[in-house]
Chains A and B, each alone.
Chain A
Amino acid sequence: MPDAGFSSAWLAAPIAVPLLAAIGVALLSARLRAGVCALGAVGTAVASFVVLARVAAAGPLRHNLGGWGAPLGIDLFADGLSVLMLAMTAVLGCAISLYASGYFEHARERQSFWPIWFLLWTGLNALFLTADLFNFYVTLELIGISAVALVAMEGGPVALSAAVRYLFMAMLGSLAYMGGVALVYAQTGALDLALLEGRLGEGPLGQAALALLIVGLLAKTALFPLHLWLPPAHSSAPAPVSAALSALVVKASFYILLRTSFGAFSDNALAAVGPILGILGGLAVLWGSLQALTQDRLKLMIAYSTVAQVGYLFLLFPVAMPGAGDAAWQSKAWIAGIFHALSHAAAKGAMFMAAGAILHAVGRDDKNSLRGLGERMPVSVSALAVAGISIMALPPSGGFIAKWMLLVAAVRTGQWWWAPLMIGGGLLAAGYVFRMVKFAFYATPAHAPPLHAVPRRLEYTALVLALIALGLGLASVFPIAVAAIGAPFPENWFTEAL
């Protein structure tokens, strides 16, 4: 595609830059580490936003790797959905990098963290930029293994047993997904999503393939009832890792499901799968929220909140599937789901970071150790509370916009029963967030031990992310317009709304 000043090969930049950073940080001497890390993070973010700007200006992009082209080779592909995820990863990635540079400043983990983290970032970007079922598998592996390594990195028995459980679940998920891909290839001889359009899930073979694919992906996304691995893994990892896992990693497998289901799935398959995913999502909302309400440790509460919030993501499937009713509203449900992913990423990242700063300062994160922190660590507590607003889906946060659009779409398409669930879920979220935050408002206990000094960037990174989650609610039109680029719905459904 000859195009003045922009080659489609730039699509590879968001993958190549973090990969080079990983190699550089592992192979170069320790003196250069800080520079390589900073360069890698900023460079990746710049590359991601260049692709975003290009797609926003000129529509979806495709690049044939090695010049072969699908089906023989692999294509990189970016549309609005991809670049939004890319941008989300870029923002979170920079924040996590900055945070980690403070968090691991004097820790043993500072050597091993960086290459693995950049590989995780590579995997995420690669996943968002591909449209090939097998390449999805490879990127999922990259993400899964690096996530497990990062969880295990801390080395304590709790972290290790959580990591091992995570590893098993990730492996089983990969295996199921891989089996599904093999069956798909056996049936159709194609792996590229564009070539598979509307063909997934036809006939008994296709249905079995689809079932395997979906189960594998759900296990990795931690949708109820396959969520059991998530709370221990996310809560026992070091804070920057928890943030990456909850904000980004669970979104990766969700993204695959979202991308394949609208487009590659046959209509019948989607109509059959949509309600199941919706029901599981609803159960996840209830179960995760109730569990979060009973946790006495901050990080566990946040982790269970992720279980619940992942549930919301899946509510878009029954609303947006074909034949659910008012066609124009299906596209809004689809966008609402994406927007929820974005705002949850910022909010949850902020929450884990704030919790990490508190853990760093106090040494513990049970609810009683939060007493008086409103006075002593106002920035972290504010970050926790502001991010909580988005998690509770109160206006004007991004979480509210997502929920409102999904609510309206659900009622408009005649599925009003999701409304009480979503509104009730919001109340439960308010319950578990305030149950923790209220402790910060107690006056400082007289015998409170002194706090360890916390690098300031830890607290402020969390606050900035929380404010992004809040501000997304006031500036939602641009992301929504981007999501509409190349969306699997007729274009006029979007333009009339925006």
Chain B
Amino acid sequence: MAETRAYIGRTQRVMLAIGLLPLLAALLSAIGSVPARPPNLAAQVAARMGDSGVTHPLTAVLLNFRGYDTMLEIAVLWLAGLGALALAPGPSAQRGRPHPVLAGLLRVLAPALVMTAGYILWAGGFRPGGAFQAGAVLGAGLVLASLGGVVHLDPARGLQCLLGLGVAVFTGVAVWSWAQTGELLHYPGTTDKWAILAIESMAALSIAFILLTLFDRLTSPSTSLSTSLSSSPPPPPAA
């Protein structure tokens, strides 16, 4: 890219590489000294599983023990969607009629993907799965559907609400738990399972639509991203 060269020259890149080489060497040498049985928190997690409302340790860590991290991570994902919408606020591209094979495939695949996503979400409580995976699968399905012209992305308020749903519910639960117990994200009594389920399902929905938004905005020919990045280097500002 021509603009890139304007800021980072070849010598600078070489210097950067030379500077980073020792780091790489240190890293490689250090990998050998990772302890065979590293000290970790698995035992503690296992000990407190009973209090977490779920039986799968990963979900317990993500949604309960370190639920705060996850809340912020979902905010990060939301942010990605918001950023994509900010870049290209216009309507999405009109895709042509889908290929008949694709259309046929969609008819079979779409319901299956929705089912799979739902199962993965529910399974998260007791075995590997959860909101991120479910959202990813559902998102993939939505992308397929949009390629097939079945789903049409409309960057209006409805979409805004879908994108923010996960964060909103998570934050709402956090504030609610604060009001109930005086501690943020401390789910009162036996509500933990249901709180987690509410958060996970809404987060999955949001994640799916965030993925769709990202895909749609970044591929739509109307976006400023694709036009500007592929245009010739800009004229110098104000000669």
Contacts and interface: CB of A to CB of B under 8 A. Distances in A.
Interface of A: 7, 9, 12, 16, 19-20, 22-23, 26-27, 29, 63-68, 71-74, 108-109, 111-113, 115-116, 119, 122-123, 126, 134-135, 138-139, 141-142, 145-146, 148-149, 152-153, 155-158, 160-161, 164-165, 179, 183, 185-190, 203-205, 207-209, 211-212, 215, 225-226, 228, 231-232, 297, 364-366, 369
B106 interface: no
29 contacts: A9-B184, A16-B178, A16-B184, A20-B171, A27-B161, A66-B183, A67-B181, A72-B41, A73-B65, A74-B68, A74-B69, A109-B86, A112-B82, A112-B86, A135-B72, A138-B69, A142-B79, A153-B87, A156-B224, A158-B237, A161-B1, A179-B27, A183-B30, A186-B40, A189-B39, A215-B23, A225-B16, A228-B7, A232-B7
B110 interface: no
A228 B12 contact: yes
B157 interface: yes
Given A72-B48, A189-B41, A156 B228 contact: yes
The interface residues of chain A, by DSSP majority, are classed as helix
Nearest to B177: A66
A492 B224 CA distance: 58
Contacts of B94: none
A219 B19 CA distance: 13
A219 to B, nearest CB: 10
Given A65-B185, A67-B183, A145-B80, A204 B228 contact: no
Nearest to B168: A23
Given A9-B182, A187-B34, A155 B224 contact: yes
B178 A12 contact: yes
Contacts of B65: 66, 68, 72-73
B234 interface: yes
A188 B160 contact: no
Nearest to B43: A189
A394 to B, nearest CB: 30
Given A20-B171, A209-B30, A215-B23, A157 B83 contact: no
Contacts of B190: none
Interface residues of B, number: 72
Contacts of B38: 185-187, 189
A89 B75 CA distance: 20
Contacts of A16: 171, 174-175, 178, 184
A112 B72 contact: no
A420 B62 CA distance: 51
A188 B44 contact: no
Which 8 pairs show the lowest CB-CB distances between chains A and B? A208-B30, A189-B39, A149-B83, A112-B86, A157-B228, A364-B238, A67-B186, A66-B185
B80 A126 contact: no
A480 to B, nearest CB: 31
Nearest to B69: A138
Contacts of B224: 155-156, 160
A160 B68 contact: no
Contacts of B1: 161
Contact of A63 (B19, B34, B89, B184): B184
A179 B24 CA distance: 12
A73 B167 contact: no
A26 B85 CA distance: 12
B26 A149 contact: no
Given A27-B168, A112-B85, A138-B72, 5 more contacts: A65-B183, A158-B237, A183-B34, A187-B35, A209-B30
